[in-house]
């Protein structure tokens, strides 16, 4: 927070438009200060920005150079925005500022280029991995 800036004071919550109840509060995350989580995929770590337990998730992922997301099938649409590096699969590649979405049923392998990649991924359901590994937000045990 800049010098002299004041933390915003909590205001009373509005009422919902569709029900006679208070609007649920927003959830703000301090992403830069969140720890990176290890995954079962070599060279890939993530920060879970949202997960509802059913597989719907928003993940900030960092892939080391050449790190691979192994063969998997998308069980619902997946959206990926590339923040840094080079994110590639058999169908194409994305550079910083570029976006790719994949439909349900899309089956592929994806990997980071020689400089690695930082991506924001939005998933509606967990992917199914050919080798049986769980999706990033599923039990890591």
The dihedral over CA atoms of 60, 63, 64, 69, expressed in degrees to the nearest 10, equals: 160
CB distance 126 to 72 below 8 Å:
no
Strand, helix or coil for residue 32: helix
pLDDT tens-digit series, residues 42-95? 999 999 999 998 879 999 999 999 999 999 999 999 999 999 999 999 999 999
pLDDT band of residue 141 (cuts 50, 70, 90) is very low
Q: What is the mean pLDDT of residues 21-38?
A: 94
> How far is the C-alpha of 17 from the C-alpha of 24, rounded, in Å?
12
Q: Please name which of 36, 37, 123, 118 lies closest in space to residue 72, comparing C-alpha atoms.
A: 123
Q: Please name which of 54, 24, 67 lies closest in space to residue 135, comparing C-alpha atoms.
A: 54
22 by Cβ neighbours in 10 Å (0-12 / 13-18 / 19+) ranks as exposed
pLDDT band of residue 8 (cuts 50, 70, 90) is low
pLDDT band of residue 139 (cuts 50, 70, 90) is low
pTM: 0.85
pLDDT at residue number 63: 98
């Amino acid at each position: 927070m800049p010098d002299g800036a004041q933390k915003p004071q909590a205001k009373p919550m509005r009422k919902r438009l569709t029900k006679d109840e208070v609007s649920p509060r927003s959830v703000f995350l301090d992403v830069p200060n969140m720890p990176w989580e290890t995954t079962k995929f070599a060279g890939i770590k993530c920060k879970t920005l949202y997960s509802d337990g059913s597989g719907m998730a928003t993940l900030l992922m960092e892939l080391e150079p050449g790190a691979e997301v192994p063969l998997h099938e998308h069980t619902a649409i997946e959206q990926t925005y590339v923040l840094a590096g080079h994110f590639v699969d058999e169908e194409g590649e994305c550079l910083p500022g570029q976006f790719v979405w994949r439909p349900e049923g899309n089956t592929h392998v994806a990997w980071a280029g020689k400089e690695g990649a930082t991506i924001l991924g939005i998933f509606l359901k967990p992917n199914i991995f050919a080798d049986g590994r769980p999706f990033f937000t599923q039990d890591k045990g």
